[in-house]
Amino acid sequence: MLFNSLQYLVFLPVVFLLYWITPHKLRVPLLLVASYLFYMSWKPIYGILIFGLTLGNFLLVPMIAKSVTRKKLWLGIVVAANLITLGIFKYAYFTVDAIKSGLAMGGIDWREPHLHIILPLGISFFVFEFIHYAVEVYRGKPLVKNFLNFSLFASFFPTQIAGPIKRYQDFIPQLDIKSKFKWEYVDEGMHLILMGLAKKVLLADNLALVAQAGFTHPEQFSSVDLWLITYAFAFQIFFDFAGYTDVARGSAMLFGYKVPINFNLPYIASNAADFWRRWHISLSTWLRDYLFIPLGGSRGNRFFTARNLFITMALGGLWHGAAMHFLVWGVYQGVILILHREWQHLTELLRVPKTVIESKLYHVLSVIITFHFVCVGWVFFRADTVTIAMKMLTKMASAPIDLFSFSLNQLEVLKIRDPLIFPSLLFLIPGLMIAHLAVNWLNDKKFYQRPPWAVQVGVMVALMCLLTIFSPDSSPRFIYFQF
């Protein structure tokens, strides 16, 4: 049941209506049943997995709180149990392939076992939520003693498949509030849902057409084409994941619940660290709080800080998928974060004037450079293999020279004919960049008033029509569903 499917457009209103006519004490059980139905709609056996993990964590984490001398031991057991479960489902094939490749290098021919493991949707997200809960209890935060509340924290259907990664101390207290129905919930919730679907169907799915063509057959495209294809994917993954997050937050808001914001205009970031404060915020803060800081954070010297950044981002890359190109993408992110810190250190050594660093020109150049560093990373992320990514990047490196003999009729990417965006790609990409920058300015100005309810309904209906007309023939899954 995809967020952008007809089934979900029926499922959500039904659960919404049942929720608000149900007495408060039965609302959590109702949402719990709905969440399990949602999860089991993919595969019924998934329900057994999430229930087993929920029950195991609910029973084991209290041992951390009760123990006086063995808190670390119990924490280690809980974290290991969660990571082993994640490892079995997500990294078994990757591990077997790595062993086979290693043995082959030594001249040993090993026949790997035939594994029949299906990766459960969302397992990376709710395992991280369980680990967060265990660590916070270890640090002295209170236990969740209501099993139904804890179960809903783990399985809440709006955030179940691809986050945002929730913090239990933020989510659980909302379940005990005897909230009354407010039209504001519908207003804000529907606004988020429609904006999310628009980002997904109108923008991400159409940008995916050019990204798919380019990354499937990169050898058919010039260096300038490949940069346009990379820009297309950069905005595809942003609108896809930000669109999913909007639908998730909007769905939760219909029931009066708030879940974390996951994006804050990441492509206006002025450096790599700023990018990760704006991109997939619930994951980046999780990696900071439960990996980077426990490793030592930035408390040591520059070498140890760099080591901690490198390890954190490399593991963050592997979290996205059991493939070498995800690991390389994570390593690359660690490297550019380290380079940013070294650049800061260099500007301090050279005593670069503060007026230069705070100037508008410096800021604009920083945003442009950061965006292109991020785009290079997206090539590793999107390409099927590291080899393909390196071939693409090698070709893309010649773009500055190729631009001298460049003409529009040489662009192969403009010869693709598909819904909505072609051949207007050259106008769409700059337009998206300008819109990305303009949102902040418009929000700061606040020169408009919210339109009347009738106008809002009209806009919503018109938007739904546009979503139907301009959506590709088969709208793909949200990208982060695979993680």
* pLDDT tens track for 230-270: 999 999 999 999 999 999 999 999 999 999 999 999 999 99
Contact partners, residue 229, CB within 8 Å, separation at least 6: 210, 211, 213, 214, 215, 218, 221, 413
Rg (CA), the chain: 24
User: b/e map of 112-129 (b: 16 or more CB within 10 Å)?
Assistant: eeeeeeebbbbbbbbbbb
**Residue 259 near residue 158, CB atoms below 8 Å:** yes
What local confidence, expressed as pLDDT, does residue 72 receive? Answer: 94
Q: Enter the DSSP assignment of 384.
A: S
Instruction: For the beta carbon of residue 162, count every other beta carbon within 10 angstroms.
Output: 24
132 is catalytic: no
Provide the CB-side half-sphere exposure for 75 (13 A, CA): 18
* pLDDT tens track for 276-317: 999 999 999 999 999 999 999 888 889 999 999 999 999 999
Task: Please state the domain extents for the chain.
Answer: 13-180, 182-263+383-483, 273-379
435: its two tokens? 């819109």
* pLDDT tens track for 73-129: 999 999 999 999 998 888 777 777 667 667 777 777 767 666 677 778 889 999 999
What local confidence, expressed as pLDDT, does residue 467 receive? Answer: 61
Q: Enter the DSSP assignment of 200.
A: I
For residues 219 and 214, give the distance between their C-alpha atoms in angstroms, rounded to a whole number: 8
55: its two tokens? 């029950």
* pLDDT tens track for 341-372: 999 999 999 998 989 988 999 999 999 999 99
User: b/e map of 82-107 (b: 16 or more CB within 10 Å)?
Assistant: beebbeebbbeebeeeeeeeeeeeee
**Residue 377 near residue 332, CB atoms below 8 Å:** yes
- In the set 320, 325, 340, 363, the catalytic residue is 320
For residues 197 and 471, give the distance between their C-alpha atoms in angstroms, rounded to a whole number: 10
**Residue 153 near residue 143, CB atoms below 8 Å:** no
